[in-house]
């Protein structure tokens, strides 16, 4: 039996349609990933497409990996070499590496992360105000995502502060160019500029990538949409998969108008709806459909399921957030015991990270294992990345991002003008920044006072590398921290408490490196050569039997047998700023995403009062609860508990008691 024979009719139609541009409106749990992977297989096996002419574009590395694994399983023993399955940013890197010369970059240009860019913006602005710098950084990012150039930003400026911001944007762009570096926004914006200004290059890529499949289309921003349009060209051979009901990233530039604009930009667009849900019970979907019906609809769609009616949705009213957290943990434990489930079957979801603290406390008290999604990895902390930049440079002196970070953390008297001159020279010579600093040809480019600290830094790295190749790892890392006076620098940068925490993290990291060196009999240089793999450690948590704690945003794309949605109150969900910022519909979609994560059971809760600062304020149930309809909701707690609910609780308790007695 072929794989397509078990697909439903709309899925089969979506896979086989090749007569023009296609929009697949895929509801939550409707098998969109399967449709994309099966279409890739269909294009290769049945339509004669070469794998290197196909590109599937996702938003996350996790989604790309999952899709790659599925396709590989389906194409066992068949040619798949050259197939592109990647994120938007990874595709952007590929295009830019190949076409770097056209834009005046060397192929080995650096990609700077947000922390690296923060330092550049801070220096250009001449300010130590972190909040102001982050706002400016966010504004520059929004400009780039909207394809606004520094010149256009200047023209649009309405007051002095906007003019200053536009000037900072221009200086920032020039600095990155001089450093032979790009930021994450450039990975999309630069390929767009490349294709718009160089038709021959655009034609080359259109002929190379002859069929495009785009996942989560509703999450594209202006620059991503334009990149796709330029890649698709007049041929418009693409399948876009999206769901307007799950557009929840407007705050980071995603524009649902891109979905609305598809029928306008492609008049012959074919629309296929995937409405059969393979994830959730009828009751859960009925509540989700009722909720989302209160939004203005781009496309009419209604999810349905053959997985049975399922349990009623519970709504528990709690006295305060502490009682809510305690109640959720106790109910989760009782439910797990009753159904003999695993911890990994459960998720506790919330609007903001602050809501996790109380829940974490009770989970720890009850010794319930849990994983926190959306939190910062230890290896992503700024202070750890500072130290690893030195280690990366020891392992590879051609690592330009590591060079830029290390030379500026702490500062060594090497200013931005020196680095700009170095970047320009390295670009001309097509060599790394480290190599360029050591060439005689660079000497006339800067003054002697500028050159001296640069050469001293390079000499320091060479000396450290020599020691790192033969001395114990712990001894060398201690010498490094002492030489750069990193602890003192932290206390100069931050308040005492923050600096203490950061220094503690650095010490923990260095202790780990020292132990690793002793246990594995490896030098610091040996360890440095594998340092890039370290930050992958936190990705290995998929098989851990633990309750998942996650924001609603971070939970998108995931599913769990049992879901607890907490803090469903006015001011939390929808967020208090939603009405004034005209984002109520996006908040409703966020609630919809939370509901549709649940496969078998859904449990909502909210508090009657919450602590805000020093005062206790009364809370109201979110309007979204009433919008779900009352037929399938069962309330308990607070003033709203009904007799049937108390009876149901008593029945559950009796069942638990019987199970316990049985085990004696």
Note if the bond before 503 is cis, omega within 30 degrees.
no
Q: Give SS3 for 559.
A: coil
Distance CA 265, CA 259 (A): 10
Is 216 in the active site?
yes
The verdict on residue 283 lying in a domain is no
- Domains identified in the chain, total number: 4
304-325 burial, b at 16+ Cβ within 10 Å, e below that, comes to: ebebeebbbbbbbbbebbebbb
The per-residue pLDDT for 661 is 56
User: Domain check: are 90 and 234 in the same one?
Assistant: yes
Domain boundary among 179, 198, 225: 179
Positions at the binding site: 26-33, 279
Final residue in a domain of this structure, among 488, 506, 535: 535
Q: Where on the phi/psi map is residue 430: left (φ > 0), alpha (ψ -120 to 50), or beta?
A: left
CB 221 within 8 A of CB 463: no
Active site residue 246: yes
- Per the CB < 8 A criterion, the answer to whether 473 and 516 are in contact is yes
Complete DSSP assignment for 90-121: HHHHHHHHHHGGGGT--TT-EE--HHHHHHHH
Indicate left, alpha or beta for 92 from its phi (over 0: left) and psi (-120 to 50: alpha).
alpha
Of 38, 216, 324, 326, the active-site residue reads 216
**Range of the structural domain that residue 134 is part of:** 110-179
Q: Strand, helix or coil at 553?
A: helix
Q: What is the CATH number of the domain that holds 139?
A: 1.10.10.160
Backbone angles phi, psi at 56, to 5 degrees: -110, 125
Q: Write down the pLDDT at residue 534.
A: 47
H or E stretch covering 473: helix 473-484
Q: Do residues 31 and 52 both lie within one domain?
A: yes
The answer as to whether 204 is a domain residue is yes
Catalytic residue among 246, 388, 551, 599: 246
Do 259 and 315 lie in one domain? The reply is no
Spatial separation of the C-alpha atoms in residues 417 and 400, rounded to whole Å = 17
**Nearest-angstrom CA–CA distance, 181 and 423:** 9
What is the predicted pLDDT for the residue at 79?
A: 66
From the candidates 597, 600, 610, 623, give the one annotated as an active-site residue.
597
| First CA to last CA distance, the chain | 49
Which pLDDT score is estimated for 529?
A: 58
Nearest to 170 by CA among 184, 158, 153, 157: 153
Whether residue 369 sits in one domain with residue 267:
no
Residue 32 known to be catalytic:
yes
Helix, strand, coil shares, percent, the chain, to 5: 55, 15, 30
Active-site residue 447, yes or no?
no
Task: Give CA separation, 178 vs 104, 106, 213, 397, 425, in Å.
Answer: 10, 11, 35, 19, 9
Report how far apart, in Å, the C-alpha atoms of 336 and of each of 329, 344, 412, 464, 562 are: 11, 10, 57, 54, 9
* Residue ranges in the chain whose pLDDT is less than 50: 1-4, 532-541, 640-648, 663-664
Domain for residue 63, yes or no?
yes
Catalytic residue at 33? yes
Active-site pick, 4, 12, 33, 68: 33
CATH number at residue 493: 1.10.486.10
Q: What is the DSSP letter of 377?
A: P
Residues flagged as binding site for ATP: 26-33, 279
Q: Among residues 116, 185, 215, 245, which one is catalytic? A: 215
Q: Is residue 402 part of a domain?
A: yes
User: pLDDT tens digit string along 602-649?
Assistant: 999 999 988 777 788 899 999 999 999 988 899 998 764 444 444 445
Is the peptide bond between 410 and the residue preceding it cis, with omega within 30 degrees of 0? yes
Q: Residue 240 and residue 323: Cα distance in Å, rounded?
A: 45
- 597 part of the active site: yes
Q: How far apart are CA 324 and CA 611, in angstroms?
A: 13
How are beta strands 270-274 and 276-277 bridged, if at all? Answer: unpaired
Looking at the fold, whether 595 and 655 belong to one and the same domain comes out as: yes
388 and 347 within one domain: no
pLDDT, position 532: 47
Q: How far is CA 411 from CA 388, 407, 408, 416, 417, in A?
A: 16, 6, 4, 11, 14
pLDDT tens readout for residues 441-491: 999 998 999 999 999 999 999 998 888 888 888 888 888 999 999 999 999
């Amino acid at each position: 039996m072929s794989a397509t024979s078990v697909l439903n009719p709309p899925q089969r139609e979506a896979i086989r349609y090749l007569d023009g541009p296609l929009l697949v409106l895929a509801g939550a749990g409707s098998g969109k990933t399967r449709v994309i992977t099966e279409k890739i297989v269909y294009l290769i096996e049945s339509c004669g497409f070469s794998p290197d002419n196909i590109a599937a574009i996702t938003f996350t590395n996790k989604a790309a990996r999952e899709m790659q694994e599925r396709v590989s399983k389906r194409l066992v023993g068949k040619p798949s070499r050259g197939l592109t399955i990647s994120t938007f940013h990874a595709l952007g890197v590929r295009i830019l590496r190949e076409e770097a010369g056209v834009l005046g970059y060397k192929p080995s240009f650096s990609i700077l992360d947000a922390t690296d860019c923060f330092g550049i913006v801070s220096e250009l602005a001449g300010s130590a105000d972190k909040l102001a710098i982050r706002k400016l950084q966010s504004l520059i990012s929004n400009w780039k995502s909207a394809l606004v150039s520094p010149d256009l930003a200047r023209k649009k400026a309405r007051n002095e502060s906007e003019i200053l911001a536009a000037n900072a944007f221009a200086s920032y762009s020039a600095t990155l160019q001089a450093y032979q570096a790009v930021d994450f926004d450039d990975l999309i914006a630069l390929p767009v500029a490349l294709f718009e200004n160089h038709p021959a290059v655009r034609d080359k890529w259109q002929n190379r990538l002859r069929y495009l499949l785009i996942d989560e289309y509703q999450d594209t921003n202006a620059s991503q949409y334009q990149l796709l349009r330029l890649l698709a060209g007049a041929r418009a051979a693409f399948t876009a998969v999206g769901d307007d009901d799950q557009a929840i990233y407007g705050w980071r530039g995603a524009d649902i108008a891109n979905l609305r604009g598809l029928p306008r930009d492609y008049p012959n667009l074919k629309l296929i709806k995937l409405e059969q849900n393979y994830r959730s019970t009828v009751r859960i979907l009925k509540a989700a459909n009722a909720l989302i019906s209160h939004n203005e609809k781009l496309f009419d769609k209604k999810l349905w399921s053959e997985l049975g009616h399922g349990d009623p949705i519970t709504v528990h009213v709690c006295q305060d957030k502490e009682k809510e957290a305690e109640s959720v943990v106790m109910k989760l434990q009782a439910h797990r015991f009753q159904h003999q489930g695993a911890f990994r079957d459960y998720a506790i979801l919330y609007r903001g990270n602050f809501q996790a603290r109380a829940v974490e406390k009770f989970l720890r008290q009850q010794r319930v294992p849990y994983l926190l999604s959306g939190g910062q990895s230890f290896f992503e902390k700024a202070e750890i990345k500072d130290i690893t930049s030195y280690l990366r440079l020891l392992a590879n002196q051609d690592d330009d991002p590591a060079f830029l970070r290390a030379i500026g953390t702490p500062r060594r008297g090497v200013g931005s003008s020196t680095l700009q001159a170095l970047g320009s020279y390295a670009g001309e010579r097509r060599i790394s920044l480290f190599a360029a600093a050591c060439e005689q040809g660079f000497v006339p480019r800067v003054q002697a006072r500028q050159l001296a600290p640069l050469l001293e830094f390079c000499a320091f790295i060479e000396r450290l590398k020599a020691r790192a190749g033969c001395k114990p790892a712990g001894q060398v890392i201690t010498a490094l921290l002492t030489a750069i006076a990193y602890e003192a620098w932290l206390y100069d940068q931050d308040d005492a408490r923050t600096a203490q925490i950061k220094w503690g993290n650095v010490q923990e990291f260095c202790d780990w490196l020292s132990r690793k060196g002793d246990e594995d009999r490896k030098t610091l240089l040996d360890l440095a050569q594998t340092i890039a793999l370290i930050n992958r450690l936190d990705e290995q948590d998929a098989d851990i039997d633990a309750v998942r704690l996650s924001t609603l945003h971070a939970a998108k794309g995931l599913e769990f047998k049992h879901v607890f949605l907490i803090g469903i109150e006015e001011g939390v969900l929808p967020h208090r700023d939603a009405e004034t910022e005209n984002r109520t519909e996006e908040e409703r979609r966020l609630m919809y995403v939370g509901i549709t994560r649940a496969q078998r059971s859904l449990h909502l809760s909210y508090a009657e009062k919450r602590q805000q600062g020093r005062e206790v304020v009364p809370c109201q149930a979110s309007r979204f609860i009433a919008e779900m309809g009352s037929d399938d909701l069962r309330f308990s707690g607070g003033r709203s508990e009904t007799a049937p609910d108390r009876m149901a609780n008593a029945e559950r308790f009796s069942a638990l008691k019987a199970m316990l007695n049985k085990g004696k």
